[in-house]
């Protein structure tokens, strides 16, 4: 899996985020959590997906880089709002992918 650094995490999962990431990198699914990824179809959007979808090898294989991890969908949406607000405050637009890549980098395979 590919990961954005620095990884965004929700308050409800912050202490366990490294452990969950290790499990996902090892090919094990950590069910009932949510990932924020770069959108597959648009350059300036983010997607929120359940880790339950990672049981499907095709999803795991084609997953865009992960930007954040959350304990539930509400927390994931809060992270997307936080990223969008930070981006808009700093740039005046919402080109999230460009802004994130200017601030961080992608790691992993």
> In this model, does residue 96 exceed pLDDT 90?
yes
The predicted pLDDT at position 30 comes to 83
- Which pLDDT band holds residue 27 (cuts at 50, 70, 90)? confident
Closest CA to 67 of 108, 28, 12: 108
Contact 7, 104 (CB under 8 A): no
- Which pLDDT band holds residue 88 (cuts at 50, 70, 90)? very high
The predicted pLDDT at position 43 comes to 72
Q: pLDDT > 90: what percent of the chain?
A: 78
Residue 57's H or E segment, with its range, is helix 57-62
Q: Mean of the per-residue pLDDT values for the chain?
A: 92
The predicted pLDDT at position 90 comes to 96
Q: Cα(14)–Cα(23) distance, rounded to whole angstroms?
A: 15
pTM above 0.75, yes or no: yes
């Amino acid at each position: 899996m590919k990961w954005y650094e620095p990884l965004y995490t929700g308050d409800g999962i912050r202490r366990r985020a490294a452990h969950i990431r290790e499990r996902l990198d090892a090919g094990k699914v950590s069910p009932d959590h949510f990932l924020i990824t770069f959108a597959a179809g648009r350059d300036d959007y983010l997607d929120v997906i359940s880790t339950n979808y990672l049981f499907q090898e095709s999803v795991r294989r084609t997953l865009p880089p992960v930007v954040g991890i959350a304990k539930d969908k509400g927390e994931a949406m809060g992270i997307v709002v936080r990223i969008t607000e930070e981006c808009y405050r700093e740039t005046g637009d919402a080109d999230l992918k460009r802004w994130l890549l200017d601030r961080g980098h992608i790691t992993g395979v």
